[in-house]
A and B are shown apart, each in its own frame.
Chain A
Amino acid sequence: MKKDTYIDIHIIGEADTVIGLREVEETIRKEFRSATKISRSTINPENFYDPSRKQYHSTKILKEMLDELPADASKMIGIISHDLFIPILTFVFGEAQLDGNVGIVSFARLQQEFYGLPPNQALLQRRLIKEIKHELGHTFGLIHCSLRECVMSVANNIADVDAKGSTFCEGCNELLRRSQKGQ
């Protein structure tokens, strides 16, 4: 990877009042061996609200993020508090361009409160980190992994998020390194 590029952590809305950005940055630096920067989005999620679904259209926000992608950033990972969807799925925890530049994670459903449970900051943070790694993994061309212990395994509900591991398995890690070399 080129030296002067970085992964942009793109805050959409007031996400950073709820989550610990320092840990997010540290994880990305370590796992993706890349510098990071934090940017504040000008995107207004309300423009992507779908009243019939009462959710926000994830792909449309990603498209908007592409316009905000700084020239020197290699990837951009959006963090948003709004509940996201794509037309064919009932909701999404996140979405990313496969082998592309942008990914997004919503923490709406990563919060215990969503399920009527008392808040748990540490748990939210763990889940968020997993999903961020996962979506960034997609931007590096990784597809879903069949190993539950791998962070690239797919999650269809919050139990899956909790059950999966927080690191890349050996195979995914290898693919990630290859993909980074190719850049």
Chain B
Amino acid sequence: METYCPFLKDEKMAFCKGFPVRKMLPYDRLYHQDNICIKEEHLTCPVYRAKDAERLSGHSSNKKVCPYLEVEEVLFCEVYPVKKMIPSSAFKLECPCTTEAYIDCPAYCQIAQGDRASGETMTVRGFLLDDTVYYHRGHLWLQRVNGKVRLGLDDFGQWLLGDIDKISFPRRKEHVERNKPLLRIRCSHGTAEIASPLSGTLMNANEEVRRDTSLINTDPYGAGWLVELRLAEAELDRLEQGGEGFIATPGARRWLEDEIDRLHGVLETEIGITMSDGGQLIDTLRDVVTQSQWGILIKTFLEN
């Protein structure tokens, strides 16, 4: 039986390297909890149902092309309204991308001024995002290092935890199972149980971090790494091919933004869910959440 929505297409499209989201799948915003497009649930998708939007495939062969314009093989919803396709619809909507007008494009100007060089750590609403690692939805990052896979907490994850009193790892050479406990992290508001995103053998635990847990907070992608696992081939594939729970690196920025927004939903106020627009998240979450709120946050973001 066909489990792919017939409107989910993969095609070569033009993308702007400067845009925060590279893969503009229509559900990234509306249905980001669950990728309904590749399941039978697509039948309930309003977009699928109202399949009246036009198909986008305009093309142009302009010589003076913006250097940030990139062509990539991507997934997209064929029937979703134009706006999700931005840079590719450029050709049609007379976006600056394919004319000399790109010089004046705010997105272009921002990158040209060195706002974000690729391959470097960037920040998303004040949180560091390293685009050389893989991310897992439990706010873990993973990276291949000398035949092993190193794992740590991402910046948002360490911020949620706050000051860490104690961290415990499995023993060396111990086998860990995917979705089974890997780390126990004790904090002032409670203890977080972090599951392993993959099955493998624990080769190393970061002894420095055990002695000085503040490394996790101050250098989450560097000295604050947690463990190294040896993975079987199938598990490596899972990691590198974006298995369940992994976030493709180009999509990490958008994912993190959504997670930060989701925070407001989880910390429901007396008047229900509110959305706010403003500065950065404060440095110490601990001071403004109750123990039970902290527990809910940890469950929602780290233990899911």
Contact = CB atoms under 8 A, between A and B. Distances in A.
Contact of A144 (B257, B278, B289): B257
Nearest to B280: A90
A18 B276 CA distance: 23
Contact of A98 (B20, B82, B267, B273): B273
A108 B289 CA distance: 26
Interface stretch (A41-49, A59-67, A71-79, A117-125): A59-67
Interface in A81-101: 84-100
B29 A59 contact: no
B81 interface: yes
A146 B28 contact: yes
B279 A91 contact: yes
Give the contact-size bracket for chain B.
Answer: 35 or more
B84 A97 contact: no
A174 interface: yes
Contacts of A10: none
Contacts of B107: 148
Please report whether the interface of chain B is mostly helix, strand, loop or mixed according to DSSP.
mixed
B277 A59 contact: no
Interface string B216-251: 000000000000000000000000000000000000
A144 B285 CA distance: 23
B274 interface: yes
Contacts, number: 118
Interface residues of A, number: 42
B275 A157 contact: no
Contacts of B28: 146
A173 to B, nearest CB: 9
Please report whether the interface of chain A is mostly helix, strand, loop or mixed according to DSSP.
mixed
Contacts of B257: 144, 146, 154
A59 B274 contact: yes
B273 A88 contact: no
A111 B263 CA distance: 28
B83 A170 contact: yes
A21 interface: no
B272 interface: yes
A156 B280 contact: yes
Nearest to B288: A87
Nearest to A135: B277
Interface string B274-300: 111111111001001100000000000
Interface of B: 19-21, 24, 28-29, 81-84, 86, 106-107, 125-126, 254, 257, 261, 263, 265, 267, 269-282, 285, 288-289
27 contacts: A62-B271, A63-B271, A86-B276, A87-B288, A88-B267, A88-B281, A88-B282, A88-B289, A89-B278, A89-B282, A92-B277, A94-B278, A97-B271, A97-B273, A98-B265, A100-B272, A135-B277, A144-B275, A146-B28, A147-B86, A148-B107, A154-B125, A154-B261, A156-B277, A156-B279, A163-B106, A170-B83
Given A95-B276, A155-B277, 9 more contacts: A59-B269, A62-B274, A63-B269, A66-B271, A84-B278, A89-B279, A95-B277, A96-B274, A146-B24
